[in-house]
Amino acid sequence: MAIRKNLVLGGDGTIGQSLCTYLISIGEEVISLDLKSGFDIRTQSLEDYADFDYVWFLAWDVGGAKYLANENYLVNIIRNNATICERIFSFLENSKIPFMFASSQMASPNTPYGVTKLLGEEWTRLLGGQICRFWNVYGWEEPGVKSHVIPDLILQALEHKKIELMTDGQEERQFIFMDDCVKNMVDIRNAGATRVDITDGKWVTIEYIAQQIASLHQVPLKLGSKQGYSNKIEPVLTYPLLFTTDLRKGIDLISKSAKEYIKKR
């Protein structure tokens, strides 16, 4: 059997990097296109990439809660993601390449980000693609306006010797380590499943996450006073998934990456 040629759109993100690494490790070919490495899908043509066997649609304007809930970014989130949809789905419609669209547990009509994910899901359905919904996939990422809660809290612990939450920490999430996520994505691709929620179904509070990080690094934890955002929708697990990295192990792995980042910086 010929080695699959994979086109990963958004391959420089947390999930994208892990996916590219995993695909290469199982003997498949990978080309990644990402804004971070100079390819702007909103303006540059994908016509030269029509000979691939499979496309992973990960490219998206997204970030953690501090980004998605900031009113200064909401219009651009809609504009950027609508443009990305138009460009990529037009390419997929014309090329007929099988593909997977990376959606989110937050896909809903209640937020600008959720609306754009619903748009992507419906477009995928009409073109016969596969959909995987992510439920707070975490891994190491450098700090910034778009970074997510677990690496942010770990850096707080390492750099400031304390953790201070912006909220009371009672909002609940389901967290999946990036390597577990991408292995399940490839299994889902191979099985041909139409739509799968990639999560283990276990709810934990942000306070619990912060407590685990504070305990590991032996630093104090201070809770905020305001209520955090919750979107507690139960997943629909339509395919048998495998998870091998629990939260404690995942936090430990990210902590090691964070220490290396601090040392190099």
Average pLDDT, the chain: 92
Q: From CA 243, how far away is CA 184, in angstroms rounded? A: 8
Query: How much is the pLDDT for 63?
Result: 72
Contact 174, 135 (CB under 8 A): yes
Q: From CA 213, how far away is CA 211, in angstroms rounded? A: 5
For the segment 36-48, what is each residue's pLDDT rounded down to a tens digit?
899 999 999 999 9
* Selection from 152, 146, 154, 172 nearest residue 227 by Cα: 172
For the segment 57-108, what is each residue's pLDDT rounded down to a tens digit?
999 887 766 776 778 878 988 899 999 999 999 999 999 999 999 998 877 8
pLDDT of residue 1 exceeding 60, the answer is no
Domains of the chain: residue spans and CATH: 5-264 (3.40.50.720)
Give phi and psi for 23, each to the nearest 5: -60, -40
Contact 127, 4 (CB under 8 A): no
**The pTM is what?**
0.91
Query: How much is the pLDDT for 12?
Result: 92
Taking each helix axis from N to C terminus, what angle separates 112-127 and 74-95, rounded to the nearest 10 degrees?
10
Share of the chain above pLDDT 90, in %: 75
Q: Cα 233–226–221 angle (5° rounding)?
A: 95
Query: Tokens 């391959």 map to which residue?
Result: 11
Contacts of 89 (CB under 8 A, 6+ apart): 120, 123, 124, 127
Query: How much is the pLDDT for 65?
Result: 67
State the DSSP H helix or E strand holding residue 150, giving kind and residue range, or none if neither. helix 149-160
For the segment 209-231, what is each residue's pLDDT rounded down to a tens digit?
999 999 999 999 999 999 887 77
Q: How confident is the model at residue 2 (pLDDT cuts 50, 70, 90)?
A: low
Share of the chain above pLDDT 70, in %: 97
Q: From CA 173, how far away is CA 22, in angstroms rounded? A: 26
- Please list, residue by residue across 49-88, b when 16 or more beta carbons sit within 10 angstroms of its beta carbon and e when fewer do: beebebbbbbbbbbbbbbbbeeeebeeebbebbbebbebb
Output helix, strand, coil percentages for the chain, rounded to the nearest 5.
45, 15, 40
Q: From CA 30, how far away is CA 49, in angstroms rounded? A: 12
State the DSSP H helix or E strand holding residue 80, giving kind and residue range, or none if neither. helix 74-95
Query: Tokens 């934990």 map to which residue?
Result: 204
Per-residue tokens: 240: 């048998």
Contact 135, 105 (CB under 8 A): yes
